[in-house]
Structure 1
Amino acid sequence: MVYLTRVEHFNAAHKLYNPAWSKEKNEQVFGKCANEHWHGHNYELLVTIKGKPDPDTGFLYDVKQLSKLIQQHVLDKLDHKNLNMDVDFMQGQLCSTENLAIAIWQQLQPHLPQTVKLHCIKLYETPRIFVEYFGG
């Protein structure tokens, strides 16, 4: 099994806020991340696929095509957006990095060819905070 990772970058704003809670409880649980005026991150996105290299090309998958899929189905929808307000696939859920990683998986997985499998979405919110999602 070969694993291939493409690294991408996007910027986005969000706030962590549970509408079922009071302002005080949101501030207690989410701290500065519940700021009513939003806050932003410079996200690093690592998309890892797995499979067997094609015997004719030696490639697991054309990385230019993988980049195009990520751009079309993820980055065009997230980059320089407000995750809470502008992103259709984040509507109705808390915009945590965990939920965002799951949503990115759901956006990409249907568009990959059957010759490869999505292995992992790794999403850095900051250089010291990241989540990994392996599907399921």
Structure 2
Amino acid sequence: MSKIRITKQFNFETGHALYGYDGKCKNVHGHSYKLSVTVIGSPITDTSNVKYGMVIDFGDLKKIVKEEIVDVFDHATVFNKNTPHVELAKELKDRDHHVILVDYQPTSEMMVIDFAKKIQSRLPGNIKLHAIKLQETETSFAEWYAADNE
């Protein structure tokens, strides 16, 4: 059976700051992220299966990505927990803001690595994560490919 890649796209708004960076992104700011998640697998051949002909139901992929990424990161502010931004994070949390502390610099590059781990852990065994593209602006994005990480 042929291997097929399918992609689902998502949008979410997230703020962040890059501690120690030598440019404007050291300041707290936000992005309208566009996330594309591509998985690979063989279409279901069992004609009695309600998902016959699908690699994975787009709705099932959407549920995984929404629960692991979109619902968590949307309208949140992300800081590296190992920087002085933790003081700002505490202040924001005390004011009932949604803050996420991560153990990495919250760049698009590091976020796609984090997202790949989270999505891979939820996919059925017969479906593999092929690629993730996280677009930060209209002209800037980071990509993760399984083939580059074997």
TM range (shorter): 0.7 to 0.9
The question of 1:121 aligning with 2:123 is answered no
Q: TM-score, normalised on structure 1?
A: 0.85
Q: Which residue of 2 aligns with 1:16?
A: 18
Higher relative contact order (CA 8 A, sep 6+): 1
- Structure 1 CA distance for aligned equivalents of residues 62 and 100 of structure 2: 20
SS in 1 for 2:136: strand
- From the two aligned structures, give the one with the greater helix fraction: 1
Q: Which runs of 4+ in 1 moved over 6 A?
A: none
RMSD: 1.2
SS in 2 for 1:111: coil
Q: Which residue of 2 aligns with 1:77?
A: 72
Indicate the structure (1 or 2) with the bigger Cα radius of gyration: 2
Cα displacement (A) at 1:106: 1.0
Determine which of 15, 21, 34 is the counterpart of 2:26.
34
Cα displacement (A) at 1:80: 0.2
Q: TM-score, normalised on structure 2?
A: 0.78
Query: Equivalent pairs: percent with the same residue?
Result: 34
SS in 1 for 2:121: helix
Unaligned segments of structure 2, at least 5 residues: 47-51, 80-88, 90-98
Determine which of 100, 105, 108 is the counterpart of 1:87.
100
Unaligned segments of structure 1, at least 5 residues: 19-25
